[in-house]
Amino acid sequence: MMKPINIEERKSVWIALSEFYLDTELQDCNFNYIAMVFSESSFSLEEIKNINKYEVFPVLQDNLLDNAGEWTGFEEEWLITTITSKLTKRTHLDNLLIDFNYSKYKWMCADYWLAVENIYHKIRNEQQIEI
């Protein structure tokens, strides 16, 4: 059984991560937005990567494989409800399947991760300089 999660704390991260799964080519403005959301969250980049892998990816991975996938954005209420529902029903076997599928498809967002991480680190460095 998974420990309870704070949905309010994760919601903005889920929404930002969902942009990786749209059937569009992300632009610099998208990467800046995503990196800003990540840097403003209470999660480390490593925690966000796990949130992506185990919470967002299982819900949205099919959109990456769909010839006519969603490209305008996922409806936020649907996204949050679906992620939350899947998390409450998750089993150890589900996690193994996620690990397998993620290892197979993570390349599809690898360039996006590199772009966002570069911006994220710049933001974090600027924040540390201001302190």
Structural contact between residues 119 and 31, judged by C-beta atoms closer than 8 angstroms: yes
The reported pLDDT for the residue numbered 66 is 74
The reported pLDDT for the residue numbered 5 is 83
Total domain count, the chain? 1
Q: Is residue 12 part of a domain?
A: yes
On whether the pTM is more than 0.75, the answer is yes
Q: Is residue 52 part of a domain?
A: yes
Q: In the numeric block, which tokens belong to residue 46? A: 């490593």
User: How far is residue 125 from each of residues 38, 49, 122, measured CA to CA in Å?
Assistant: 14, 19, 5
Q: Which domain holds residue 41?
A: 7-130
Structural contact between residues 70 and 63, judged by C-beta atoms closer than 8 angstroms: yes
Q: Is residue 1 part of a domain?
A: no
Residue-wise pLDDT tens for the chain (131 aa)?
456 788 999 999 999 999 999 988 999 999 999 999 999 999 999 999 999 999 999 999 998 887 666 667 899 999 999 999 999 999 999 999 999 999 999 999 999 999 999 999 999 988 777 65
